[in-house]
Structure 1
């Protein structure tokens, strides 16, 4: 479902998907392109979550709930202030997206998706991130794609980031 940004407040966008799909890259470019504030979801994780993931242990729903509520608050603040914003968040389950929507009903989800092989290769070659490749399978197993009643769109990351941003902007304009 597209979101028209004409004659409306700036959008609040969640760039979602499994680790390694390029959420950070696309979200930064999209925020810049639209002139919106940007936030990286990883910055909202408590130290215990980072330690758990760094040890190769997947987070459970109890670990994620305060993180998701903090992200939802950020989104709700941006919507309430009328500034809009772009945040990255895996948002793998419908229930996680529901937590974000509870705080910010206007949230629009840009779901980046890609083949397991492509994403696994990206994770294996990146540096400076606490998410190990061993957790990718658990992320794909947890992933619940956007449903027809959720505001958002799905883009395959087989295209370059600039093309993905242009596709996202076009979808937001409809």
Structure 2
């Protein structure tokens, strides 16, 4: 899995767009998102914290979410991104954004979103999720995420990185691409 840019982020040199760190469970969205937000000096939004309790209960019991169940969650993340953008602040959000329609929904709140897709293989994702402590998402749901995953297409504002790399390497690569250096 190589570093691939679909449509390179644009903007003034040094400007920080809204960034959504995306991918299946276990790819490192939160760890990379937190570190990336710190490196850029911007706000971090943890998408998992915005799930309604009903969604968390469903996932904890091994039930995958439907598109309909994800709508309010995606809107909550989109509203958080839009609020930061309206205040002229950069923002990084962690959100699976597995389907193009989900990414389009998020982009409806802020057209300047850049998606950072952390690409990972199913076995590594299952292993990582299975070793997590205290998270509602069981490893049994990883395959359902891969089943609906639509990696970003070349016409989307997205950067694809190999999620098996270290958090530091991923953040450094993302910062280079985002800042255009």
Same fold (TM over 0.5): yes
Matches of 1:112 and 1:145, distance apart in 2: 10
What CA deviation, in whole Å up to 9, does each residue of 1:7-43 have, x standing for no partner?
A: 4643110000000001000000000000000010011
Residue pair 1:26, 1:161 contacting (<8 A) in 2 also:
yes
Question: Who is 1:81 aligned against?
Answer: 87
Choose the corresponding residue for 1:56, options 57, 62, 65. Answer: 62
Residue pair 1:17, 1:112 contacting (<8 A) in 2 also:
yes
Matches of 1:77 and 1:92, distance apart in 2: 23
Residue pair 2:31, 2:167 contacting (<8 A) in 1 also:
yes
Matches of 1:163 and 1:7, distance apart in 2: 21
CA RMSD of aligned residues (A): 1.2
TM-score by length of 1: 0.96
Unaligned runs of 5+ in 1: none
Question: Who is 2:138 aligned against?
Answer: 132
TM-score by length of 2: 0.93
**Number of residue pairs aligned between Structure 1 and Structure 2:** 174
What CA deviation, in whole Å up to 9, does each residue of 1:91-120 have, x standing for no partner?
A: 000000011001111111000011111111
Moved over 3 A (4+): 4-9
Matches of 1:4 and 1:105, distance apart in 2: 12
